[in-house]
Amino acid sequence: MVKKLFLSSLLVISTAVFAQDKHWSYEGETGPEHWADLAPENFWCKLKNQSPVDISNTVEGQNPKLEISYKKEEDYKIINNGHTLQVNVPPANFVSLNGKAYQLIQFHFHSPSEHTIKGKNYPMELHLVHKSDKGELLVIGVMIKEGPSNGILREIFNQAPVEEGEKELKLPFNIYSLLPKNRDYYLYSGSLTTPPCTEGVTWIVLKTPITASKDEIEKFRTIMKHPNNRPIQPLNSRFILK
pLDDT in tens, 152-178: 999 999 999 999 999 999 999 999 999
State the pLDDT at residue 125: 98
Among the listed residues 34, 83, 110, 130, the single catalytic one is 83
State the pLDDT at residue 193: 98
Query: Whose CA is closest to 122, among 240, 21, 220, 225?
Result: 220
State the pLDDT at residue 128: 98
The CATH superfamily assigned to 2-241 is Alpha carbonic anhydrase (3.10.200.10)
Calculate ∠ Cα 206-135-195, nearest 5°.
70
State the pLDDT at residue 23: 86
Distance of CA 15 to the CA centre of its chain: 18
Active site residue 83: yes
Nearest-10 crossing angle of helices 151-159, 214-224: 30
pTM of the model: 0.90
State the pLDDT at residue 12: 34
State the pLDDT at residue 19: 33
State the pLDDT at residue 62: 86
State the pLDDT at residue 219: 98
State the pLDDT at residue 42: 97
State the pLDDT at residue 16: 34
Per-residue model confidence as pLDDT tens for the chain (242 residues) = 434 434 433 433 333 333 344 489 999 999 999 999 999 999 999 999 999 999 998 999 888 999 999 999 988 999 999 999 999 999 989 999 999 999 999 999 999 999 999 999 999 999 999 999 999 999 999 999 999 999 999 999 999 999 999 999 999 999 999 999 999 999 999 999 999 999 999 999 999 999 999 999 999 999 999 999 999 999 999 999 99
List alpha helices for the chain, DSSP H.
2-20, 35-38, 151-159, 214-224
Q: Which residues contact 19 (CB under 8 A, 6 or more apart)?
A: none
The DSSP 8-state label assigned to residue 47 in this structure reads: S
